[in-house]
Amino acid sequence: MSSGLEDFSLFDLFRMEAEEQVRVLQSELIQLEAGVMTAARLEALMRASHSLKGAARIVGLDAVVHLTHAMEDRFVAAQAGAALDSADVDRMLAATDWLARLQAVPEAETAGWLETNAAAMESCAAGLRGGSADAAVDPTAVQESGGSTSSDPAAGIDTPIQKAAGDPQRKEPAAGGTKGPAGSIAEPKTTARGDRDDIFSQQGHEERATRERTVRLTTERFDHLLSLSAETLIGARQLAGWGDALDRNHRAIGTALQVMEDDTSTPEAKSAARRDVDRQVALLATQISDLDQASRSNEQIAERLYRAVLGGRLRPFSEGITGIPRLVRDTARELGKQVKLEIAGESTRVDRDILDKLESPLTHLVTNAIDHGIETPAEREAAGKTPEAHLLIQARHENGRLVITVRDDGHGIDVERIRERVVRRNLASADTVAGLSEAELLEFLFLPGFSTRETTSVLSGRGVGLNAVQSMVQEAGGAVTVTSHPGTGTTFRLTLPVTRSVIRVIRILVDGEVFSVPLVRIDRVAQFEPEMRDGNPMVTWNGRDHPVRVLATLLGFAEKPLAAGPLPLLFCGDFAFAVDRLMDQAELSVRRLDPRLGKIPGVSAASLDENGFPLLILDVDDLIQTAAGRPAHPPTAREADSGNPHILVVDDSHTVREMERRLLARSGYTVTTAQNGVEAWNLLRLNEYDLLISDVDMPQMNGIELVARVRGNPRLARLPVIILSYKDRGEDRRRGLEAGADFYLTKGAFDNGSFLQAVVDLIGEATPLTPGETP
């Protein structure tokens, strides 16, 4: 079979990856510049540049490797506390702009393009590296010089770009792109910032990203699909004809029966009618058997069509690793090592969605293996091994799962070194660490920023890789584990679903609603009678106690006590989930959830059942986390059930609103915002809030009116209210308090902390977010 990706050169693949990562870099940088510098954001930025660096190395774009390496360095420094000012962000954006430009260059012209621009790109990288040293550069001066600091080597950047701008091949990101790269994106940058901050357009942005996903099909396969769908169409039309025939049949029998029942009919007419009925009944019998046959053949065609469409998604594993041999060769050469790569199971079929997601983690693992695991030829010989190391990448199906192993025969992972690091980084006490098993210690490798390397190289050693690998594999619905044998090598094992498009599920009834649970995530299904231990329902299975949790309660439906007697239970992980009824098994095609709904706790995807009704697929990991009392996701404004007080902020100024939101979210409150009194009133009417914070001067309905309306409503009358206004005259204050506000604060209260104090006084403190969670 011909593959979809064979048609694409490595450069094309790099281009696709670069497109995505540049998008991440640019939007995150812009957010960073807007003053939202969070650990999560820096992590995302570092990862994007790290991934891009890996991809660029595969295609041998040294200039890009240097550029992304310099960016990554700055992000790592920022994580350690170094400052990133807007001049830095400008330089970084300039760098991403180079990457964006490179994407637009046809492959054949790349070499020439790189030659022309290499110097400028290098000086851009140098500017990034030097950026921390000349942090004192006035940002306004930087703006004027089109983004490149006039004092650093990057100033020379203008010339080649101006030349490049005249090149008809070039697609400039902005229309008037004759300035420096940063200058040319200055305009879209500001609008993008506005977009990101607006909750509506942000949603739209996510959706666009979802819609733009494409699938490549060969024309051969497409023709095959077309002919199959034509067959189903013919089948469907055949059925329509049947309706008419049955209708004639029905009418003939009706008429004949009428004649037979009519007393005025002659005996001849009656016997003729009886013969007619007999004939029609015989006809009906053949029609039923024909219909049966037609329905069977229709089902077959539909099944074939379905398999063909599904087959279009399954691709040989080899397609996902086209760049690996080159990567291994180049990396080994660069590090002065000898590596023999063996790839097994190349024809293993993998869903193309998963295949796409595999490339990056595999790149990380292979680079890691060569850099960290495999020794130099001299070291190997000294250890009694062959000078040439062996690196194996294997894909195979195992119990309906795709298992990929990456194994090297290097020196393995030094567990003592991990122990040392864990203690040094204060991740656990020395006592605890001493008691940890080897497998438990290896788990630390997947922590963000954890590395056993003392120095970082262009290749690896930042601790980004393994964490990125884990999250990418998890995103594809899989898991990654590592085993290591000192002296003989390390094995990474990635377990993934074969396809994400069709899964087998068990259907269950919860609070009168049908849900489905992926079969692979259920350990056992059984009817058991729970016994109460210390007031908690428990069941024992497989020699272990499993706490019983009512699924309806976990899903936020009715709070129901456990029914007496044996209950239908799903055993997943350490828990047994009680449901109303176990229904049946089914095969479902998985669809992503509407992005408008955000992440719904306990739900992973949606599907349609055989009657065309919507059916939600539950997220077992999420449910286990919730059952264990750990929030599976950091609380966001969307998740009002986080347990923290929920505050409604009303202000017509976007800036003030956003400032209040961030301030409160940072203190752990759940915040919803509204632009004016009318919007706020609608939200108050429909949702539960613990506190209302309102401005006074707003269009449509002002703050005083809003407060008066709240006080006049029986349900809301006792809701705490803070008025926050620029007006600080005594009469304004009196007017606000008379309307029913509990506090009247002027906007200066932000500075002296009295704003947060008033909130705490009224509704108490919230559990603050841990650093790293985005407010």
Partner 1 sequence: MNETERGSLFERPMPAGYRDELRALMAIDAPKRPASLESIFLFQLGPLRLALPTRVASAVSPVLHVARIPHRSGTVLLGLVAFRGEILPCFSLAQLLDVAQSETGSARMLILEEAPGRLWAAPIDAVVGIRTIPEQLSEEQGPLPAHWLRGSFNYQSRSFYILDHITLFRQITLATA
Lay out the sheet containing 670-674: strands in order across. 670-674, 646-650, 691-694, 721-725, 743-746
Q: How far is CA 313 from CA 40, 502, 518, in A?
A: 33, 11, 20
Q: How far is the CB of 658 from partner 1 (least distance, A)?
A: 16
Site string for partner 1, 473-512 (x = CB under 8 A): ----------------------------------------
Asked whether position 596 contacts partner 1 by CB under 8 A, the answer is yes
Q: How far is the CB of 199 from partner 1 (least distance, A)?
A: 8
Q: How far is the CB of 556 from partner 1 (least distance, A)?
A: 4
CB closer to partner 1 out of 118 and 586: 586
Phi first, then psi, for residue 278 (nearest 5°) are: -55, -45
Asked whether position 612 contacts partner 1 by CB under 8 A, the answer is yes
Strand partners, 570: 525, 577
746 vs 755: CA distance, rounded Å: 9
Asked whether position 606 contacts partner 1 by CB under 8 A, the answer is yes
How many CA atoms does the CB half-sphere of 238 hold within 13 Å?
16
Alpha carbon of residue 746 to chain centroid: 41
Are 593 and 210 contacting, i.e. CB atoms less than 8 angstroms apart? Answer: no
Of the candidate residues 335, 415, 514, 663, the single one contacting partner 1 (CB under 8 A): 514
Which range in 167-175, 291-299, 606-614, 657-665 contacts partner 1 by CB under 8 A?
A: 606-614
Query: Encoding tokens for residue 149?
Result: 């600091």
Asked whether position 586 contacts partner 1 by CB under 8 A, the answer is no
Of the candidate residues 94, 256, 391, 674, the single one contacting partner 1 (CB under 8 A): 674
Which range in 360-368, 466-474, 519-527, 588-596 contacts partner 1 by CB under 8 A?
A: 588-596
Identify the three-state secondary structure at position 192.
Answer: helix
**Exposed, middle or buried: residue 83 (CB in 10 Å: 0-12, 13-18, 19+)?**
exposed
Asked whether position 594 contacts partner 1 by CB under 8 A, the answer is yes
Q: How far is the CB of 652 from partner 1 (least distance, A)?
A: 14
Give the type of residue at 378: A
CB closer to partner 1 out of 1 and 597: 597
Asked whether position 382 contacts partner 1 by CB under 8 A, the answer is no
Asked whether position 203 contacts partner 1 by CB under 8 A, the answer is yes
CB closer to partner 1 out of 237 and 596: 596
Phi first, then psi, for residue 608 (nearest 5°) are: -115, 135
Asked whether position 207 contacts partner 1 by CB under 8 A, the answer is yes
Which range in 161-169, 347-355, 602-610, 744-752 contacts partner 1 by CB under 8 A?
A: 602-610
Query: Encoding tokens for residue 560?
Result: 């129901």
Asked whether position 602 contacts partner 1 by CB under 8 A, the answer is yes
- Max Cα–Cα distance, the chain, nearest Å: 116
705 vs 721: CA distance, rounded Å: 13
Which range in 55-63, 522-530, 676-684, 730-738 contacts partner 1 by CB under 8 A?
A: 676-684
Which range in 173-181, 272-280, 467-475, 635-643 contacts partner 1 by CB under 8 A?
A: 635-643
Asked whether position 601 contacts partner 1 by CB under 8 A, the answer is yes
212 vs 208: CA distance, rounded Å: 6
Of the candidate residues 598, 631, 634, 740, the single one contacting partner 1 (CB under 8 A): 598
Residues in region 536-565 near partner 1 by CB under 8 A: 555-557
**Which of 256, 372, 255, 233 has its CA nearest to residue 302?**
233
Strand partners, 578: 550, 569
**Exposed, middle or buried: residue 52 (CB in 10 Å: 0-12, 13-18, 19+)?**
buried
Strands 479-485 and 401-408: unpaired
Are 84 and 76 contacting, i.e. CB atoms less than 8 angstroms apart? Answer: no
502: CB partners within 8 A, 6+ apart: 310, 587, 588, 589, 590
Asked whether position 643 contacts partner 1 by CB under 8 A, the answer is no
Number of residues counted as binding partner 1 (CB under 8 A): 40
CB closer to partner 1 out of 544 and 596: 596
Query: Encoding tokens for residue 99?
Result: 């990457």
**Residue located via tokens 């962000």:** 89
Which range in 229-237, 441-449, 608-616, 755-763 contacts partner 1 by CB under 8 A?
A: 608-616
Q: What is the torsion angle, in degrees rounded to the nearest 10, for the CA atoms of residue 280, residue 284, residue 290 and residue 291?
A: 140
Q: How far is the CB of 452 from partner 1 (least distance, A)?
A: 41
Of the candidate residues 415, 603, 632, 749, the single one contacting partner 1 (CB under 8 A): 603
Phi first, then psi, for residue 747 (nearest 5°) are: -65, -10
CB closer to partner 1 out of 200 and 534: 200
Q: How far is the CB of 505 from partner 1 (least distance, A)?
A: 15
CB closer to partner 1 out of 92 and 674: 674
Asked whether position 206 contacts partner 1 by CB under 8 A, the answer is no
CB closer to partner 1 out of 143 and 675: 675
Of the candidate residues 5, 76, 121, 616, the single one contacting partner 1 (CB under 8 A): 616
Q: How far is the CB of 575 from partner 1 (least distance, A)?
A: 17
Handedness of CA 46, 325, 499, 216 (dihedral sign): positive
Asked whether position 608 contacts partner 1 by CB under 8 A, the answer is yes
Q: How far is the CB of 588 from partner 1 (least distance, A)?
A: 12
Strand runs (DSSP E) across 338-413, as ranges? Answer: 339-344, 349-351, 389-398, 401-408
Of the candidate residues 108, 200, 264, 399, the single one contacting partner 1 (CB under 8 A): 200
Handedness of CA 635, 639, 640, 642 (dihedral sign): negative
Angle at Cα 333 formed by Cα 329 and Cα 338, nearest 5°? 80
Q: What is the torsion angle, in degrees rounded to the nearest 10, for the CA atoms of residue 440, residue 444, residue 446 and residue 451?
A: -140
Strand partners, 31: none
Buried b (16+ CB within 10 A) or exposed e, 608-630: eeeeeeebbbbbbbbbbbbbeee
Of the candidate residues 81, 424, 613, 629, the single one contacting partner 1 (CB under 8 A): 613
Which range in 86-94, 186-194, 204-212, 487-495 contacts partner 1 by CB under 8 A?
A: 204-212
Asked whether position 588 contacts partner 1 by CB under 8 A, the answer is no
Which range in 30-38, 340-348, 574-582, 599-607 contacts partner 1 by CB under 8 A?
A: 599-607
Handedness of CA 171, 172, 178, 181 (dihedral sign): negative
Which range in 394-402, 563-571, 634-642, 766-774 contacts partner 1 by CB under 8 A?
A: 634-642
Of the candidate residues 120, 442, 615, 722, the single one contacting partner 1 (CB under 8 A): 615
CB closer to partner 1 out of 82 and 683: 683
100 vs 63: CA distance, rounded Å: 14
Site string for partner 1, 681-710 (x = CB under 8 A): -xx-xxx------------x----------
Residues near partner 1 (CB under 8 A) are 199-200, 203-204, 207, 211, 513-514, 555-557, 591, 594, 596-598, 600-603, 606, 608, 612-616, 637-639, 641, 674, 678-679, 682-683, 685-687, 700
